[in-house]
Amino acid sequence: MADNVTDIKDLLSDFATKEAELAKAELVPAAKNAGVGTGFLAVSLAFVLHAVWMLVIALSALFTWLVSLTGLSVPLSIVLGFLIAFVLALAFGGLFGLLGWHRFKRVRAPKATIAEAKSLVDAIFAGWGRKEPEIMLRSSASELEQDGS
């Protein structure tokens, strides 16, 4: 009897270790993609905020030019320079926003870990001769999958 308890203890320890490795194998890439996506979106936000700031300055210069009515002179060249800088900053913000969005689209739920845990619980309750928790577990897993989609 003591040998059986020791064997069960060792098997459960091995099982827990393998489950942790499986969860890590699925969650680390998802967390990495989420982190990189967050970084790209932060850079995108910085460029967009700078673009808005540049637009305000460009509009100020444009209004100054319109008020002074000096024609196509230095004020106009200042306005065009600020507008070009605004367009470039907006383009970079859009680029980093797209890169971040594509990284976030790569984040997936750990399907193998969920399936393995579900099969373990199914096996345990099937061994006990009860099926009720299997139904509850499947409905919870399907809710998780719907939230992750």
* Residue-level pLDDT at 43: 93
Most confident among 42-51, 82-91, 132-141 (mean pLDDT): 42-51
pLDDT at 108 over 80: yes
* Residue-level pLDDT at 99: 93
For range 46-66, the mean pLDDT: 77
- 11-37 pLDDT tens trace: 778 888 888 888 888 888 888 888 999
Q: Which of 38, 55, 56 is nearest to 99 (CA)?
A: 38
pTM attached to this predicted model: 0.41
- Check: CB of residue 57 under 8 Å from CB of residue 82: yes
Task: Please state, in angstroms and rounded to a whole number, the distance separating the CA atoms of residues 149 and 144.
Answer: 9
* Residue-level pLDDT at 132: 53
